[in-house]
Chain A
Amino acid sequence: MPVDVTMPRLSDTMEAGTVVRWHVKEGDEVSSGKVVADIETDKATMEMQVYDDGRIARILVPEGKSVPVGTKIAEIAVQDESAANTSAEPMVPTVLAEPPGAVPPRVAPPGAPGPGPARVAGEAPLSNAESRRKPHEAESLAPQTAAQVGGGMRVSPVARRMAEELSVDLAQVRGSGPAGRIIKRDIEAAAEMRGAQVGGTSHGATTVPTAPGTAPPTPIARVPGAGLASPVVQRAMGASVGQPGIQSVEMALSTMRQTIARRLVESKTTIPHYQVSMTFDMDSIVALRETLNAELVPAGVKLSLNDFIVRACALAMARHPFVNASFADDRILVHQTVNVGVAVALDEEKGGGLLVATIRDADRKSLRQISAETKALSEKARTKGLSIEEMSDSTFTISNLGMFGVEHFTAIINPPNSAILACGAAVQRPVVRNGSLAVGWEMTATLSLDHRVIDGAMAARYLQSLKHLMEHPTLLLV
């Protein structure tokens, strides 16, 4: 019985494909897994394998010709059949389609009856060990790209959503799930491999602090013909382009930079931002930190001021749930967990950028836990990049430029959060304490807020609670 080889659907949007090159000629022996041709889609050129053992009986589409998905492009004579016995009758346009009564295909096309996981998924319960074994068997098949599964692409819903958000081309991803289903971890791996560990999901956003009075960046002209798609920085050496008298080099946008640009424009243009600032007396917290760190030297723990701020911000949520909320079109979601995002700047030498690491359940973690987690995540962010998980689900964000000596700045809200706290440095200043002049530690922090969720007085009351915690830092220990 001959087997048809049809033009596979290698991407979601693919309607036709071009046979760039045949790796086989009529009469060649092939076995399952053999790459027989290179196919160019609307997105890329990919290898096409066959899934049957046999001999290439006929090649129906010459190199360079484009045909619609599903068109028969070759025919394989399987086992003992001779090529002469093959028929050219039209078949169901799927790579693996076989006529009724034939040996069951190794991987069933979607919807076809058979022992594949699609069927299991359609059945009601996996209530006994017998039925649960089925997906297991399917998984023991070699991993394959989704496209290999009979024209349709198998992608779990969350994987499809993440691929869109992270601009991952599904056609380029090998699915590791049953029957080649592309699942969450495949997208994460693809994004990571591409070096695109940007908080591109709707939950794990990135945010850029903006300094007031910052000069607009020098306009960069585009070098004609230079693509923006490549994440590699391209330099137009010595090319004088754009505005007369200004020499610029063109830098391609990294995926992270694209995400930052897209999300922050969206945040700043759709969220009615306003800012509220407050200055905190930091004498107690500086002293407490010194005492604790002296005691914790043997344990190798060194708490940063930021760790105290994270905990204080999280604890203050208990009395101000709307600061820990999201605006969702027709309603407000008041989150029941407090996940504090901490903005982490990446080394400029390595391309810069920033991302937000999520400290989950920060209101339920001790200073030490917060400190250890923040350190570990920052380190990982700078070296290997963070997983989606590690950047997702923040409900409030803190951006701290205190270590650079910045005393005051404002930040852009990190959607879907409703607030972000911009922290300056703790500095020694002349202060009035008990009616007389003294030298004291102070820090100024500025909240940026979404007015659709939080009104000015609510923001002020939150800052009051925060101030109380910061100025009575032993409260942060219990």
Chain B
Amino acid sequence: MTTKKTRLLIGAAAVAASAAIALSGCSGSGGKNSGAAGGTSTVTLFSGQVGNFTENFNPLSPTGSGLQPTNGVIYEPLFYYNKAKAGNPVPLLGTSFKWNGDGTELTVKVRQGVKWSDGKPETADDVVYSLNLVSNNPALNTSGQKWVAKKTDDSTVVIDFPATAFTLEPQVLGNEPIVPESIWKSIPDPTKTTNVKPVGTGPYMLKSFTPQSFVLEKNPNYWGKGDQAPKVDQVRYISLSNADAATSALQSGQVDYMGSFLPTLKQIMAQHKNLSYSNSPQATTALFTCSNPGLGCTGPQTDPAVRQAMYYAMDRTQLNNQAAAGFSTPASPALILNTVNKDQITNPDYLTVPQSADVAKAKSLLEADGWTLGSNGYYVKDGKELDLSINVVSGWTDYDTICTLLQGQFKRAGIKLSVNQVAQNAWTQAEVSGKYQMSLNSINMGPSSNPYFQYSQYLSSAATAKVGGSATTNVSRYSNPAVDAAIKTLASTNDKTKEQAAYKTIQDAIVKDMPYVPVYVNSALAEYNNSHATGWPSQDNQYAFPLPWGGNWGVGIVLKTIRPVGK
């Protein structure tokens, strides 16, 4: 009797297992993307979303909580500023623009014949409304300056600024979505709406939404014609939880377009001929140091000789190979990119950082500063050991690996490094309040590749505060009056000669003081699957900044440029 029961149990288990596998057949796992229903071409996109999507298509949200395609794919700005390539901005809803002499008035020509996705015409009134809506609302206006836009005729909009505002150009022309006045004037609080039925001018519009995935479809009223029109019928967005899942998705053809750092990327590309990728570096990974004792910083890193010694003690080739999987590119001590911004680097010595470690030079710099080598191999001065701590976000694996490797590399130069792996909010808090010695972070580009944004955000005294207060972006507490004056010059002029002189002042200062010790330029990898669509950006042809991350207007350009395979 028991044996019969045991057999029943085993039988039941087998039935359950086979039912699970059989039911999987019902779910139809084949033919996911192309040719699903009557030849509809679909491209699947992974934007880095972990967990469920929250239905929010608000292009004006100050916290950036609108879903990825909102800015760029559903809504468009006046011009597109391509961070991956030096060049003029691409006309979208605006066709041309002109500044007056002192940068207080910007005249923009508006494209005619544009329609919203609900069929109504888009006019200069909408442009004026959108720009003023942002300017007048303190929760939406993250630039800190107000402007007034007015329409002078059906095809021209003039924007007036209270002070010289050349550097606001990418923000106003390239970073502000144009929204329909007819809909938004009846929304009581534009920061809180979730805008679940978005109406925009972009190449795609929302078709359907579930928390696990949503679908966009071609906008039949899009202003672009021919090559400028969207050709792929549908775009589907999915979420994945980690790099492992992303790797599998790419390899199995489940995702066509994504922007993840995959350490096995080179093997994947070698094994799958239908995949391609491009690398659009824009951020310089650097050791952020709390460098200014005048503003309350304490620790050995406040000594410029120590920072210089670290600069020379790094073996960046090892860091590139083992932390960045070979995808990083050499940085410049001028803290801007030596590719896109090559012309703005004022001294040929500032083009690249040394790629291999120069331990002798590091040691001589320290010894000239009064440090002596202690018995345990680390330098000592005034009885204190050269002991530095660095904060890094736990889970950012390439950064974690950099810190582990730096520990060993610095040890050879007599510098002791202890690594604190912290959660992101604690890491941010430490930087903002100044209560840290070093922090591994990156110098990010602003809304365009203009070096003004990097320098003003990371070096200006206006963006910093004492240790204990809240610094906005200049967390190194660097404060140099000559640099501040040069930054002010950059903000108030369009004259190339004056700009170059200002760059020289700034760069000479930071190469000497090195408040941020550059490591390498971090990769920004985007991967593509060419089986369902072609025309993706390539390494040599980066017609848009292709990372499908939040806030990137370039995704709209990419999506409308690609063509489905077989059509």
A and B: real partners? Answer: no
Binding site for B on A (CB under 8 A): none
Report which B residues bind A (CB closer than 8 A).
Answer: none
